[in-house]
Amino acid sequence: MIRTDWTMEEARAIHALPFADLMNRAQSLHRAHFDPNAIETASLLSIKTGGCPEDCGYCSQSAHHDTGVKATKLMETGEVLAAARRAKAAGAQRFCMGAAWRSPKDRDMDRLCAMVRGVSDLGLETCMTLGMLSPGQVARLKAAGLDFYNHNIDTSPAYYAQIASTRRMEDRLDTVEQVRKGGIRVCCGGIIGMGEAEEDRIAMLVTLATLPAHPDSVPVNLWNEIKGVPVQARAQAVDPFALLRIVALARILMPASVLRLSAGRTGMSDELQALCFLAGANSIFVGDQLLTTGNPAAWKDHDLLARLGMHIAPAQPRPRVTAE
Ligand code: SAM
Ligand code: DTB
Ligand code: SF4
């Protein structure tokens, strides 16, 4: 059963289960909703890097922090399509285009829509992450054929103000709601390892799991160290078991959502990734590069999946995870 009325008490109790009980519950639900040996693959491209007016304390692309990332203009459609062809050849099913904006300018919409149509025509699922969207922009992207929109809540409501001051979590949730209402599937998750407490991690998942509809996909990012950003002073190494508990809790609270093990895999052992898949993670980014940081080499991921007897999930439109 898909529930959107989870309480913090329930989530804390699940999170605190003995490890074997927690993993068993997560794996049983995973099997009820998905092929447990299938992994979805997405590829990322930064179509507009750096110079972002937002001050997210974890991000290399904010103009507020001195990180050495060079600001670029929005890429040409042709260059984006060439990258999408390469991603498809390397085994990606979905192509996710990210821009370091607070929100897109209306003058950029024609080009963004051309990118969506072009990537879609290559037979790839399309995803964009462009910051906040107006209802009109949602409608244009939907008409161009955009399948997914990524917009993360990043942390708990209580910790959010420590992470960004140029926007509120309510602004993020408003965009998520606009996207959902506009009929584009929602990809919404967050980051762990930014100095937040265990309670914040649980609260982040409860926030996602009590939205009117669960996000269709939920990225769990481990903070990728960026030198020169405010989070660097607060970041903590994440205990592998703490990560596993969060993955399992996400799987239990949102059993039909695709769970993506996103940033941070370069620092994870094969064994930890395998345990994350057991706990319910069923999607990864493939390709050497995320946005401004690295990702495991393609051969390493293929090797890992082969050793685990896992395969790339056939891309197929899935029904929305909860009804209106
Ligand atoms: N500007 C858009 C936005 O904020 O939605 C799109 C790009 S933004 C880089 C997408 C997401 O990447 C963020 O919401 C955050 O969850 C994740 N992210 C950014 N920097 C990260 C880092 N250093 N480590 C882990 N995840 C990170
Ligand atoms: C998400 O949750 N993770 C991806 C994607 N959505 C856009 C981004 C990860 C970025 C990691 C830091 C970087 O490469 O700059
Ligand atoms: Fe800008 Fe997105 Fe980075 Fe925040 S996370 S600074 S909005 S690119």
Q: In the prediction, which pLDDT does 105 show?
A: 96
Q: What is the mean pLDDT of residues 211-218?
A: 97
Torsion over CA: 285, 286, 287, 293 (sign): positive
Q: What is the pLDDT of residues 128-183, one digit of tens each?
A: 999 999 999 999 999 999 999 999 999 999 999 999 999 999 999 999 999 999 99
Ligand 1: atom nearest CA of 293 is 23
Res 85: pLDDT: 96
pLDDT for the residue 91: 86
Distance CA 53, CA 312 (A): 37
- Length reported for the chain: 324
pLDDT at 215 over 60: yes
CA of 140 to the centre of ligand 1 (A): 23
Which ligand has the minimum distance to the alpha carbon of residue 54? 3
What's the whole-model pTM score? Answer: 0.96
Distance CA 98, CA 69 (A): 15
Supply the pLDDT for residue 268: 96
State how far the Cα of 243 lies from the Cα of 293, in Å rounded to an integer.
20
pLDDT in tens, 266-291: 999 999 999 999 999 999 999 999 99
Tens-digit pLDDT profile for residues 298-318: 999 999 999 999 999 876 554
* Chain CA centroid to CA 180, Å: 16
In 3D space, the residue among 43, 194, 65 whose CA is nearest the CA of residue 124 turns out to be 43
For 20-86, the DSSP string reads HHHHHHHHHHHHHHS-TTEEEEEEEEEEE-S-BSS--TT-TTBTTS---PPP-PPPPHHHHHHHHHH
Q: Which domains does the chain have, with CATH numbers?
A: 20-304 (3.20.20.70)
Tokens encoding 263: 């940033």
Find out whether the beta carbon of 292 lies less than 6 Å from any atom of ligand 2: yes
pLDDT at 320 over 80: no
Contact (CB, 8 A) for 193 and 226: no
Task: Give pLDDT, residue 318.
Answer: 47
DSSP 8-state assignment for residue 211: S
Does any ligand 3 atom lie closer than 6 A to the CB of residue 224? no
Whether 178 lines ligand 1, by a CB cut-off of 6 Å, is: no
Give 20 Cα–ligand 2 centroid separation in angstroms. 31
Distance in Å, CA 264 to ligand 1 centroid: 12
Contact of 155 with 163, CB cutoff 8 Å: yes
Contact residues for 81 (Cβ-Cβ < 8 A; gap 6+): 115, 118, 119, 122
How much of the chain is helix, strand and coil, in % rounded to 5?
40, 15, 45
The number of the ligand 3 atom at minimal distance from the alpha carbon of 55 is 6
